[in-house]
Structure 1
């Protein structure tokens, strides 16, 4: 079985029609030929964009020569008011220094340390849902709440109900609703010299979020200084020196990093979990398999995660069909030649998990929902070569391993207690905001299991 098909995909589409469709329905906006093409070119009056959808070209850009293809400033500027100079936006030596400090906090052993906080957030989510059994619920709001709870518990050892955490969550929801469709920046014909404008409300929300984060980081810096800080991710990051310089993040630098941890760890996880719940409602047989397997959580320890194999495969398949970040944009630092086509210096290089994960020449049944594919030879090959929900190479998401524990855990915990059912007339339509979200939310019926 396949998820509901989008409107018929056009064979060819003008740039302006593409931009209109992109806002309405991410799936339907994409010309059918892009799901077969190894490469495509978009021309505008000011610059050119090249979508690459061939594994070896993607490997060149993201793995082999990442310094030659830095992150595009066209994308970065849209997030600058909130993220400042966070690791998500920087390039070159600044980015490398930031990763040297941040990466140790997410090494394998830390996952076991953060597991109790994830478990507590999942259990709290179950309790919040109990009063809504028998009703229709909007799942993106629910998954946003639990994902934010996970971030605050693992980063600062406080639950979402904490006064400052709750304020950050609410302000961020307002910020997210005000954001433009950032992935359009790869195609919008705006010259580089034109200044970027942000609405007054967007700037104000970003400033207020950063002030709240500053309170948390300053308080943690004081606790570190007097030896009372908990051993969580914030403490680990703030006390880890750069092995090359011996310097730690300053408090003001930490504000930028906390902002991206919240954005990346909350927004992307919320998107992935919401679409996974929708797919579970659409495929009740798979939902029942996850629920049966979830009885292993009678032993709620980190070791139990190795038993949640079906949940992991289901979550992985949801990330394939609905990658939270549908497109990544890099810039050609020098003139290139891809597939015998000249790529001028300064061109935008668009790498699209959305298309790569549905590439018709690579995947078996690319539009179908089939968690069992990961055990097949084609599935294993594609997982290595054509599956990048967390990007790949040096800029792979630091929290990828974190997400692959958090997602299956929360999914298993929810399905252990509840059933999710589709609602007639409320089929979600994917659109691209900060992440892949549903145009009018993901509405499901919640049933006691």
Structure 2
């Protein structure tokens, strides 16, 4: 069974039609030719946009010259009410300072320290689903719950059942569906002049989330001052000083960073895990292999090395359904790509969604095949055309965290459970903050 993807639009539509499609769903707003094009140009009255699929040009933008292609402010406009001045949105010296403080918390050795939190959250999710054996379940809601539990336990040593954690989780669920990936202000110059383009409910939800996170960070500051703070990610980040300036994050800065940690660590993981479970529900032979592999899990960090099949399945889910489908950079100076002139200020779009399914790069690009990662084509494309966490200097800080969390949750859930897809409820992917299903992903849950 070929995994679903949204229908593409016709090659030519009006700007107004494109904006309406983009607001509704970024994926179906794109023409089918992007799955085979090396480069494509889109013009508006206000700026020019270039989508790049050619691997060496993607490498130029992300790895070789990242400072020449900073993040586009057009995209950040839509996320600013929630994320403020977080590391996800900043550029230049400010971004470098933030990464110097944040990166030590996610170094390889710290994964061993966060493992117990991941295991407890995975066990809790397994028990919740076991209790629903025999039911048809909207699995995105369950994976969101599990991923939120992981991030709260890892960041603040709080299970999702904590009242504040539960409130943040519920507000994020509201925000995820109300916030389009691109604000209308991005299509016109001087977006600061158009604050009303934010939906009132979106702005209000962002304010409530930030108020809750402020409460949590202020409480942690008090614990740090009293010497009673747990040794988790929040404490590590809040007590790490910039090695160049000696400064730590202020309280407002920490709120910005926690917002993106939760968004990146919860939204993206929940999306990838839900699609992985759907793919295994439609490919029972692979599901059985994951379940068999999971029998050897003991709860020790050494389990990471045992999850080979689960890891390849999770990588394949990230290929077919990358949580962040598009990344937008801006040319800081005039460029020449494929004999085309990119003016200063041009938008450079890197699309994991199209790159990961590119017909001229991947064997069987639309098929689910975890075994591809052991083939020459899979290994080559994995190096050159696979960017679910971005790449280069701006690679997601939590990429290593996610590649431990995802396979663990997948394996532990399927160790005692079997998931079956419903033929009459085939999910249709669309992009909100992440790639989710239009009407949810419904699976039947049974004990093995």
The answer, yes or no, to whether TM exceeds 0.5 is yes
**Residue in structure 1 matched with residue 328 of structure 2 by the alignment:** 329
**Partner deviation per Cα, 1:346-370 (whole Å, 9 max, x = no partner):** 1111000001101111111111110
The separation in 2 between residues aligned to 1:207 and 1:359, in whole angstroms, is 39
Give SS of 1:420's match.
Answer: strand
**Partner deviation per Cα, 1:125-164 (whole Å, 9 max, x = no partner):** 1111122211111011111110000000000001000111
**Residue in structure 2 matched with residue 434 of structure 1 by the alignment:** 433
Kindly indicate whether residue 184 of structure 2 is the aligned counterpart of residue 190 of structure 1.
no
The separation in 1 between residues aligned to 2:8 and 2:346, in whole angstroms, is 30
When residues 236 and 264 of structure 1 are mapped into structure 2, their CA distance, relative to the original with a 3 A threshold, is same
**Partner deviation per Cα, 1:256-277 (whole Å, 9 max, x = no partner):** 1001000000000010001111
Output aligned runs, 1:246-325, within 5 Å.
246-297=246-297, 299-325=298-324
**Residue in structure 2 matched with residue 349 of structure 1 by the alignment:** 348
When residues 302 and 383 of structure 1 are mapped into structure 2, their CA distance, relative to the original with a 3 A threshold, is same
**Residue in structure 1 matched with residue 75 of structure 2 by the alignment:** 75
**Residue in structure 1 matched with residue 33 of structure 2 by the alignment:** 33
Asked whether the 8 Å contact 2:4–2:429 carries over to 1, the reply is no
Asked whether the 8 Å contact 2:40–2:50 carries over to 1, the reply is yes
Asked whether the 8 Å contact 1:75–1:185 carries over to 2, the reply is no
Output aligned runs, 1:108-187, within 5 Å.
108-182=108-182
Deviation at 1:116, TM superposition (A): 0.5
The separation in 1 between residues aligned to 2:286 and 2:274, in whole angstroms, is 16
The separation in 2 between residues aligned to 1:441 and 1:45, in whole angstroms, is 36
Give SS of 1:244's match.
Answer: coil
**Residue in structure 2 matched with residue 420 of structure 1 by the alignment:** 419
When residues 417 and 15 of structure 1 are mapped into structure 2, their CA distance, relative to the original with a 3 A threshold, is farther
Greater CA drift, 91-100 or 219-228: 219-228
Asked whether the 8 Å contact 2:273–2:410 carries over to 1, the reply is yes
**Residue in structure 2 matched with residue 107 of structure 1 by the alignment:** 107
Give SS of 1:437's match.
Answer: strand
Give SS of 1:389's match.
Answer: coil
Deviation at 1:57, TM superposition (A): 0.8
Give SS of 1:132's match.
Answer: coil
The separation in 1 between residues aligned to 2:371 and 2:411, in whole angstroms, is 17
The separation in 2 between residues aligned to 1:344 and 1:41, in whole angstroms, is 12
Give SS of 2:131's match.
Answer: helix
Deviation at 1:211, TM superposition (A): 1.3
The separation in 2 between residues aligned to 1:386 and 1:196, in whole angstroms, is 37
Q: TM-score, normalised by structure 2?
A: 0.96
When residues 185 and 407 of structure 1 are mapped into structure 2, their CA distance, relative to the original with a 3 A threshold, is farther
When residues 417 and 103 of structure 1 are mapped into structure 2, their CA distance, relative to the original with a 3 A threshold, is same
When residues 46 and 27 of structure 1 are mapped into structure 2, their CA distance, relative to the original with a 3 A threshold, is closer
The separation in 1 between residues aligned to 2:88 and 2:292, in whole angstroms, is 38
**Residue in structure 1 matched with residue 208 of structure 2 by the alignment:** 208
Asked whether the 8 Å contact 2:24–2:180 carries over to 1, the reply is no
When residues 279 and 52 of structure 1 are mapped into structure 2, their CA distance, relative to the original with a 3 A threshold, is same
Deviation at 1:6, TM superposition (A): 4.7
The separation in 2 between residues aligned to 1:24 and 1:211, in whole angstroms, is 29
Asked whether the 8 Å contact 2:8–2:31 carries over to 1, the reply is no
When residues 202 and 190 of structure 1 are mapped into structure 2, their CA distance, relative to the original with a 3 A threshold, is same
**Partner deviation per Cα, 1:293-333 (whole Å, 9 max, x = no partner):** 00011x11110110110000000000000000000001111
Asked whether the 8 Å contact 1:77–1:196 carries over to 2, the reply is no
How many residues are paired up? Answer: 446
When residues 185 and 327 of structure 1 are mapped into structure 2, their CA distance, relative to the original with a 3 A threshold, is farther
**Residue in structure 2 matched with residue 236 of structure 1 by the alignment:** 236
Asked whether the 8 Å contact 2:101–2:241 carries over to 1, the reply is yes
Runs of 5+ consecutive residues of structure 1 not aligned to the other structure: none
Asked whether the 8 Å contact 2:8–2:27 carries over to 1, the reply is no
The separation in 1 between residues aligned to 2:21 and 2:81, in whole angstroms, is 27
Runs of 5+ consecutive residues of structure 2 not aligned to the other structure: none
Deviation at 1:17, TM superposition (A): 4.5
Asked whether the 8 Å contact 1:272–1:324 carries over to 2, the reply is yes
Q: TM-score, normalised by structure 1?
A: 0.96
**Residue in structure 2 matched with residue 90 of structure 1 by the alignment:** 90
Greater CA drift, 168-177 or 102-111: 168-177
The separation in 2 between residues aligned to 1:196 and 1:24, in whole angstroms, is 19
Deviation at 1:191, TM superposition (A): 2.3
**Partner deviation per Cα, 1:382-410 (whole Å, 9 max, x = no partner):** 11110000000111000000000000000
